[in-house]
């Protein structure tokens, strides 16, 4: 380090050169737009898609309970859509967790060469276009799709099942698309799991359920929580999957936001809806940080005891 | 206990194969049925055909039914061209910026470091749709016409973070003794950077660039909001097709895209295995 520090001035210049261009770029095109969006969510929508520069908290009021009495009565429909989105996102998290958890154990016990091959296979779909992967599910779930044709051909059903445009279709689609997001953090903590502790627990007379609850689950918890958050965030604000697999029947908060911007042209209200999504994500992250610091404190405490 | 263990050891692999079937079957389905000649129901196998591929390359009018899509062949080409232009430019810009911030954060001491770390973390935790609407509001209120350029700017705002993360990981793995040695041997900081630091972080830079390219090619949410009328990208184009109702040509387009993604993924893997 000492050799590099002989020339303080030069070093400062280098740092300045490295940081200035990206800082200006991100300041103008990232921070400023986000700031404007926050401001917009407190502005009054104009008549034909514009804004009136007045402070106006009724965008939030319209969602949360105090609507602009000049135009409308409070209607909880936005809150209902938001809560439905939370529900669908949570269901997606749980489904993808159940799909990925056993697979993570399976792969973690393989030999190194096979392990890296199978990990490659799991990350590969991430490189396949999202629209293409969703399109595949349209082909499968449509009334004339693969699943219905198969079931009808086998004589199990006589009329096609309504699979498209349902909550189930949206959840399956999101879980499918986000599998790599769930799998990788999960795998990272499953792989670290010390099998000798599992054996010790069994030797000491714990039942399988007890071993799972007291040993395996707590030790893989960081991966479970990490994966859940990475899947929950893009699921909550998603509008692509619900508009392809949910049609007009499964409306999520993302669809509402899209409508406000591209058809209803009420940008302040759309921004307020967006802020709601952001608030939900922030609350979740705060809970996550809380849990993680507790875990760490606990780990440190036990370490001190051992030492 | 022994039987239970046996059961467990065979159930897990069986589950594992089901898992991979679930992941890959939908993708394979597209590939297989892109060669199906049945124009009425694309999921009932009729005959092997290249018609849909010929149709999207404008070589033949396969059926009258798909006339709607033949009209959009030009649009399709335009979308592919836009996507490639955007992805290449975005990759160049975000790779340079992301690497610059990663180097600054890892190799210099300055007060604003936590700010840059937080800034790089933000796009990771923010739902895409928020960045999409924020950029739309920004461009429109500042009076910038939506075009390929606005999409490039939009992609860079979050891809810088991806490059930053990949390059930072590489720098963290690196042994800084070599840089110190170079400096001790009298190399100035530019020479040290060019001869020692840069070659060592290069695999990370390439990895970050590939990731940026792939994500830029595939981005739909942000692009959807800031694409002007005549600056559609390939994902936006296909999304539009899917919303209007599906036709066999999409299978063929999807298969070609699939092939393209696999090539890029294999290049990435090859580069990684060489390091």
pLDDT tens string A27-64: 999 999 999 999 999 999 887 768 888 888 888 988 88
- Using a CB-CB cut-off of 8 Å, the residues of chain A touching B251 are 139
Q: Is the pLDDT of residue A2 over 50?
A: no
Q: What is the pLDDT of residue B64?
A: 47
| Percentage, residues of chain A above pLDDT 70 | 96
Q: What is the pLDDT of residue A174?
A: 96
- Distance from the Cα of A101 to chain B's closest Cα (Å) equals 10
User: Does A127 contact B20 at a Cβ distance shorter than 8 Å?
Assistant: no
- Distance from the Cα of B180 to chain A's closest Cα (Å) equals 6
User: Does A15 contact B104 at a Cβ distance shorter than 8 Å?
Assistant: yes
Map A204-216 to HEC letters.
CCCCHHHHHHHHH
User: Does A138 contact B246 at a Cβ distance shorter than 8 Å?
Assistant: yes
Tens digits of per-residue pLDDT, A245-272? 998 888 999 999 999 998 888 999 999 9
Closest CA to A189 of A59, A92, A84, A100: A100
Q: What is the pLDDT of residue A304?
A: 61
Q: What is the pLDDT of residue B273?
A: 67
Q: What is the DSSP letter of B65?
A: G
User: Does A130 contact B218 at a Cβ distance shorter than 8 Å?
Assistant: yes
pLDDT band at A182 (very low <50, low <70, confident <90, very high): very high
Closest CA to A186 of A124, A96, A117: A96
- Distance from the Cα of A292 to chain B's closest Cα (Å) equals 17
- Looking at every residue in chain A, the average pLDDT score rounds to 88
- Using a CB-CB cut-off of 8 Å, the residues of chain A touching B108 are 11, 14-15, 18
- Using a CB-CB cut-off of 8 Å, the residues of chain A touching B189 are 4, 7, 10-11, 14
Mean of the pLDDT values across residues A204-216?
85
User: Does A103 contact B137 at a Cβ distance shorter than 8 Å?
Assistant: no
Q: Which residue in B130, B137, B157 is closest to A277 by CB distance?
A: B130
- How many CB pairs below 8 A link A and B? 227
- Distance from the Cα of A205 to chain B's closest Cα (Å) equals 12
Q: What is the pLDDT of residue A81?
A: 94
Which pLDDT tens digits describe chain B residue by residue (275 residues)? 444 565 566 788 889 999 999 999 999 988 888 888 777 666 677 778 887 888 777 666 545 454 445 456 778 888 999 999 999 999 999 999 999 999 999 988 899 999 999 999 999 889 999 999 999 999 999 999 999 999 999 999 999 999 999 999 989 888 778 888 887 888 787 888 888 888 889 989 998 999 899 899 999 999 999 998 778 899 998 888 887 777 778 888 888 888 888 888 777 777 766 65
- Using a CB-CB cut-off of 8 Å, the residues of chain B touching A15 are 104, 108, 110
Q: Which residue in A34, A138, A274 is closest to B242 by CB distance?
A: A138
Q: Which residue in B131, B138, B156 is closest to A36 by CB distance?
A: B138
User: Tokens in use for A126?
Assistant: 């991430």
pLDDT band at A109 (very low <50, low <70, confident <90, very high): confident
Structural domain boundaries in chain B: 2-56, 72-244
User: Does B43 contact A33 at a Cβ distance shorter than 8 Å?
Assistant: no
Please state whether A266 falls in left (phi above 0), alpha (psi between -120 and 50) or beta. beta
User: Does B254 contact A179 at a Cβ distance shorter than 8 Å?
Assistant: no
Integer Cα distance of A256 and A69 in angstroms: 22
Distances (CA, A) of B155 to A124, A162, B88, B160, B239: 22, 38, 11, 9, 18
- Using a CB-CB cut-off of 8 Å, the residues of chain A touching B40 are none
Best mutation target among A10, A46, A136 (most B Cβ atoms within 10 Å) is A136
- Taking the domain A76-265, which CATH number applies? 1.10.3720.10
Single pTM value for the model? 0.89
Q: What is the pLDDT of residue A291?
A: 83
Closest CA to B91 of B8, B3, B174, B166: B166
- Using a CB-CB cut-off of 8 Å, the residues of chain A touching B266 are none
> What SS3 state is found at B228?
coil
Q: What top-level class would CATH report for the domain B72-244? A: mainly alpha
């Amino acid at each position: 380090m000492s050799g590099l520090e002989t020339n303080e001035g030069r070093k400062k210049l280098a740092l300045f050169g490295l940081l200035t261009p990206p800082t200006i770029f991100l300041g103008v095109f990232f921070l400023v737009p986000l700031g404007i969006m926050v401001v917009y969510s407190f502005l009054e929508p104009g008549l034909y898609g514009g804004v009136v520069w007045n402070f106006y908290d009724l965008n939030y009021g319209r969602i949360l309970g105090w609507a602009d009495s000049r135009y409308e009565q409070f209607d909880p429909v936005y809150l209902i859509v938001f809560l439905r989105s939370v529900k669908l996102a949570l269901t997606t998290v749980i489904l993808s967790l159940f799909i990925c958890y056993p697979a993570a154990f399976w792969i973690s016990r393989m030999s190194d060469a096979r392990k890296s091959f199978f990990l490659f296979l799991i990350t590969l779909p991430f490189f396949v276009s999202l629209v293409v992967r969703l399109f595949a599910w349209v082909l499968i779930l449509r009334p004339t799709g693969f699943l219905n044709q198969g079931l009808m051909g086998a004589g199990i059903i006589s009329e096609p099942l309504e699979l498209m445009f349902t909550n189930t279709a949206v959840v399956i689609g999101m879980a499918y698309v986000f599998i790599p997001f769930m799998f990788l953090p999960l795998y990272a903590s499953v792989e670290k799991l010390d099998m000798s502790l599992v054996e010790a627990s069994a030797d000491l007379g714990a039942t399988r359920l007890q071993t799972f609850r007291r040993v395996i689950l707590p030790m893989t918890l960081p991966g479970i929580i990490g994966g859940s958050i990475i899947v929950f965030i893009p699921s909550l604000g998603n509008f692509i999957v619900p508009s392809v697999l949910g049609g007009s029947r499964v409306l999520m908060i993302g669809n509402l936001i899209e409508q406000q911007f591209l058809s209803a042209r009420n940008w302040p209200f759309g921004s307020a809806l967006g802020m709601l999504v952001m608030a939900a994500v922030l609350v979740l992250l705060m809970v996550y940080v809380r849990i993680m610091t507790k875990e760490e404190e606990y780990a440190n405490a036990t370490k001190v005891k051992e030492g | 206990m022994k039987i239970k263990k046996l059961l467990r050891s065979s159930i897990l692999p069986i589950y594992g194969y089901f898992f991979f079937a679930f992941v890959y079957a939908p993708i394979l389905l597209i590939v297989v049925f892109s060669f199906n000649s049945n124009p009425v129901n694309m999921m009932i196998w009729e005959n092997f055909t290249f018609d849909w591929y010929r149709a999207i390359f404008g070589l033949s009018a396969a059926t009258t039914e798909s006339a709607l899509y033949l009209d959009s062949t030009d649009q399709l080409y335009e979308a592919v061209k836009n996507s490639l232009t955007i992805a290449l430019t975005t990759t160049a810009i975000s790779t340079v910026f992301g690497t610059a911030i990663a180097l600054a954060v890892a190799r210099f001491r300055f007060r604003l470091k936590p700010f840059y770390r937080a800034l790089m973390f933000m796009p990771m935790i923010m739902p895409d749709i928020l960045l999409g609407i924020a950029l739309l509001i920004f461009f429109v209120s500042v009076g910038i016409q939506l075009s390929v350029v606005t999409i490039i700017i939009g992609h860079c705002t979050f891809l810088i973070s991806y490059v930053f993360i990949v390059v930072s990981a590489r720098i963290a793995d690196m042994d800084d003794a070599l840089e110190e040695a170079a400096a001790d041997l009298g190399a100035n900081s530019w020479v040290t950077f060019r001869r020692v630091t840069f070659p060592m972080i290069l695999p990370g830079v390439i990895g970050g660039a590939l990731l940026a390219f792939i994500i830029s090619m595939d981005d739909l949410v942000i692009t959807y909001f800031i694409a002007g009328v005549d600056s559609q990208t390939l994902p936006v184009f296909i999304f539009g097709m899917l919303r209007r109702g599906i036709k066999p040509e999409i299978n063929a387009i999807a298969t070609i895209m699939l092939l393209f993604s696999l090539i890029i993924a294999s290049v990435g893997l090859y580069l990684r295995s060489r390091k």
